[in-house]
Amino acid sequence: MQTIIVVAAVGLAGCADALLGPAPGTDRAALFDQVWEQFDLHYSFFEFKGVNWDSLGAKYRPLALAAGTDAAFAAQLGGMMRELKDVHVSLTPSGVGSTLGYVSEYDTIATYFNPAIVDVYYVSREATTSGKHLVYGLAAPAVGYVRIASFNGDSWDGELDEALAAMPDIKSLIIDVRNNLGGNMTLAVQIAGRFTTAERRYGWVRLRNGPKHTDFTDYIERTVVPVGTRNFSGPVFILTNRHDFSSAEDFVLAMRAMPKATIVGDTTAGASGGPLSRELTNGWSYELSEWIEYLPGKKMFEGVGLAPDVYVKATARDASRGVDAAMAMAVGLAR
């Protein structure tokens, strides 16, 4: 319904240019106001972050309107968005490679994770699933290994069934999601569904639903349910680090609900906002966080992350020697 209204408004403005001035798609004041108003209505972390959105609008609006070029205008819009310090907030003015967003400390922190070290020194009989989304093999006798580099895309969760079927004799499993920047939350939870025989609550979410920055829905339960052709019932060890964002964290949350799951490595990034996508009338797109996600005990983890059960510090020295301390710890526990 909203899209129809916007399209209709653009059409009317185009028919009346002589009377009403530039169409919304070329009017920078209208573009700025579209962005500001959508954030004001939908963004979820104003209160949590202590942000005065009115003040930011007053600061950046004259700067944006005074911009001499589209690039300069985009820079001012992006600058206002970066004030929120939220990795789920971004502006994309001209397609792939043009995105302007906030870079958190966890985007740039060294994790010393090198998949090649795992492949060469820790995993044998390595293979890739048919859709190329998963790498799997044996980390030790009866210990399987699966690496999930991303949760982008959809409908490929069955590739985990494929990997498990190729390792029928394993008794325990290591799942490596280190440096996984996220993607499709539904996909992530469907993959976690291979490790439960019953529905389990793994967290809660609340969505912005009103004009006030404190207007939210009630707590909505997040659950993981059994999925797939084979449920793996043995111990599972999930490798994490500070480069795990968004849907990768949903996967970790869901796996934390499993009685036989152990998280090994470092704390995740703490990017839990759930992006809402919008498009401006000039074709630019942007994203903003629409919800707040919570642990099962209704505690937030935005900006904090999910701590492992077994902390293992990765170091440059280990990496230079071909050592993956978290992987070695997981193999030891899995045995």
Per-residue pLDDT tens digits for 116-140: 999 999 999 999 999 999 999 999 9
Q: Which residues pair with 151 in a beta bridge?
A: 183
List the CATH number of the domain containing 128: 3.90.226.10
The whole domain housing 53 covers 2-14+22-103
- Tell me the DSSP string of 293-330: EE-TTS-B-TTT----SEE----HHHHHTT--HHHHHH
Nearest-angstrom CA–CA distance, 312 and 305: 16
Helices 247-256 and 185-192: crossing angle in degrees, nearest 10, is 30
Phi, psi of 58 (to 5 degrees): -65, -30
Domain identity same for 122 and 44? no
**Boundary residue ending a domain (60, 82, 103):** 103
- Looking at the domain assignment, is residue 284 inside a domain? no
What is the DSSP code (8-state) at residue 192? H
Let me know whether 148 and 168 are in one domain: yes
Please check whether residues 82 and 180 belong to one and the same domain.
no
Residues 138 and 114 in one domain: yes
Distances from the Cα of 219 to the Cα of 187, 205, 297, 313, 329, angstroms: 22, 6, 11, 35, 37
**What pLDDT score does 2 carry?**
38
Report d(CA 322, CA 184) in Å as an integer: 32
Length of the chain: 335
**Is there a domain that residue 51 lies in?**
yes
Asked if residue 285 belongs to a domain, the reply is no
> Do 113 and 72 fall into the same domain?
no
How far, in Å, CA of 240 to CA of 308, rounded? 7
Q: How confident is the model at residue 26 (pLDDT cuts 50, 70, 90)?
A: low
Tell me which of 38, 68, 103 is where a domain ends. 103
Q: Which residues pair with 286 in a beta bridge?
A: 91, 278
Which pLDDT value is given to residue 95? 83
Residue 240 sits at φ, ψ, to 5 deg, of -130, 160
Tell me, yes or no, whether 60 lies in a domain: yes
Residues 205 and 171 in one domain: yes
- Considering the domain architecture, whether residues 129 and 267 belong to the same structural domain is answered as yes
Contacts of 10 (CB under 8 A, 6+ apart): 23, 24, 25, 281
Residue 44 belongs to some domain of the structure: yes
Q: What is the distance between the alpha carbons of residues 41 and 290, in angstroms, rounded to a whole number?
A: 9
The answer to whether position 279 is within a domain reads no
Q: Is residue 85 part of a domain?
A: yes
pLDDT of 3 above 60: no
Same domain, 59 and 152: no
Contacts of 33 (CB under 8 A, 6+ apart): none
Distance of CA 204 to the CA centre of its chain: 16
Clarify whether residues 255 and 301 are in a common domain: yes
User: How does residue 65 score in pLDDT terms, banded at 50, 70 and 90?
Assistant: very high
Burial 138-166 (b: 16+ CB within 10 A, else e): bbbeebbbbbbbbbeeeebbbbbbbbbee
Asked if residue 6 has pLDDT above 60, the reply is no
- pLDDT category at 193 given cuts 50, 70, 90 is very high
Q: Predicted confidence band at 220 (pLDDT cuts at 50, 70, 90)?
A: very high
| Domain stop point among 38, 71, 103 | 103
How many domains, the chain?
2
- Decide: 190 and 227 in contact? Cβ < 8 Å: yes
Which CATH number does the domain housing residue 56 bear?
Answer: 3.30.750
The structure's pTM equals 0.89
Together in a domain, 149 and 249: yes
The answer to whether the beta carbons of residues 249 and 269 sit under 8 Å apart is yes
Same domain, 119 and 40: no
Residue with token string 């859709």: 131
Same domain, 169 and 305: yes
Domain for residue 277, yes or no?
Answer: no
Q: For 252-311, how does the pLDDT look when each residue is reduced to its tens digit (9 = 90+)? A: 999 999 999 999 999 999 999 999 999 999 999 999 999 999 999 999 999 999 999 999
Instruction: With CA atoms as reference, report the closest residue to 294 among 249, 236, 229, 239.
Output: 249
DSSP-assigned letter for residue 130: T
